Amino acid sequence: MKSLAARGAVGVAVAAAMLLSACSSSGKSENNNSTTNSSTAATTPSSSSAPSSSSAAPTGPGLGTESSVSAEVLAAVKDQPLTGAVASGLTRGVTSTSIKIGCVYTSAFWPNSAGGFAARFNRANAEGGINGRKIEFSGCAEDGQNPDTNLANTKRLVEQEQDFAVMEFSTFATPQVTDYLNAQQVPFLGWGILPGFCGTRWGFGFNGCVVSSGITSLKTGWGQASNLYPIIASGLQFKDMKIAMLGADNDSSRSSFADASKIITANGGKVVYNESKVPLTGVTDFTPYVRPVLAAHPNAVSINIALNYLGQVIAALRAGGYKGVITNPTGYQPGLLQAQPAFAKALEGSSSVSFTTPIEQSTPYNTQMLKDLASTKTPPGQGPQFAYDQADMLVQMLTAAGKDLNTKTFDQAVNGGNFVYKPNPTGGPAALPYPAGHFTGADCTAAMQVVNAKYVVKGEYKCFPSVKTRG
């Protein structure tokens, strides 16, 4: 599948920037066997936040009652072909009483994820299973931040364990890994920040494909307007924005900033600085990188770097006299502020986004999720939450395939044009249609801010029309 491999590492660095040193891990596998038997204008929360001539209201509260993908996007991706093996009706991992599900993950980025998967699968089993079949979840195999280890584990799950589906919750699921799964008719779920979740028949991101804007082999690309939500929620109107962007030295940061720039300028704002040049490792003095940001006199700063550098960059901005809005995509990590008080102090006043309904926002879905996590003795956190979301989506996909479960019935049910994932119960991730989710993401976030060492919801989970960047 050369078309996938050619996409390279676009998106891998996005994920790598998410957690790095935020969480620690033993490096061992997590096994829970004991628990398993649009237009170019951005959208804003209110009509006063941007020029009324170019902005629209958010699509809704993101409670699973409406699709997160606009009619414009649905029409644009409707006829795009999917790459990957055509379903032939394989019953690998399926018996009359069970469905085998495996997992490969990066524990350093998303610890306790196995408990999140198990929590949702256990509830499905307690409720009678999937059309009479119980899910047999084997826990999660650690890839050690190594793509070769990920590939070896993935092949073992498919060829030896004979799993029907694999949860690929890893930033090291390279095209070699996802191409293999795509060729073997193995549904794989994860976070759609990797190329393998875009345009492939068997790859499903719980929030869709969120990197299509950087994948030129796709006919269209879409930028995520929701990433700007914290700036909007701060009360700063687009026409008054003077935004500086400082990112890591990688293509994913440059791509995301390019998308954001289009959104900001289309709504009358100004981008006064835009550089992605902070080294991924080895930096001890951030002054040279912060100095030109301050010289541009912004009133909002967007930082797209690894979490382990975030506090130092924010401190450098504050030390330089900056008093405006600071936002980033990595700073919301449930449980982190309590675990690391010094880090909480460094992030004080800064904003970030939650890519699904934050646990601080009370919803039926979050109430159920926290109850289910408690049943597996899994603490809340981004890893368990995203894992639970992925499992919730897979449960619905398997259910939609019907009693005669095989790769063909699964493909027909999910990729046939009538499937829409809706969180169960409401109040979780945004409703997402497939196959459209193979080409675009759920453009939905909540705006979060660190206030008195706690995460506070400054803008409840909303969905925004994505911005077309190509095609």
Going by pLDDT thresholds of 50, 70 and 90, the confidence category of residue 471 is confident
Look at residues 49, 54, 56, 57 and name the one whose alpha carbon lies nearest to residue 240: 49
**Residue 140 DSSP one-character state:** B
Distance CA 16, CA 247 (A): 13
Distance CA 171, CA 108 (A): 10
- Model confidence pLDDT, tens digit, residues 343-380: 999 999 999 999 999 999 999 999 999 999 999 999 99
- Model confidence pLDDT, tens digit, residues 304-335: 998 889 999 999 999 999 999 999 988 998 98
140, 33 contact by CB (below 8 A): no
**Residue 207 φ/ψ region, left for φ over 0, alpha for ψ in the -120 to 50 degree band, beta for the rest:** alpha
Which range, 66-70, 156-160, 257-261, has the best average confidence (pLDDT)? 156-160
- Model confidence pLDDT, tens digit, residues 101-147: 999 999 988 899 999 999 999 999 999 999 999 999 999 999 998 99
Distance CA 55, CA 283 (A): 40
Within its chain, how far is the Cα of 163 from the centroid? 24
In the prediction, which pLDDT does 360 show?
A: 93
- Model confidence pLDDT, tens digit, residues 170-226: 989 999 999 999 999 999 999 998 999 999 999 999 999 998 988 889 999 988 888
Domains by residue range for the chain, with CATH = 2-37+78-218+361-438 (3.40.50.2300), 47-53+223-354+445-470 (3.40.50.2300)
> What's the whole-number average pLDDT of the chain?
86
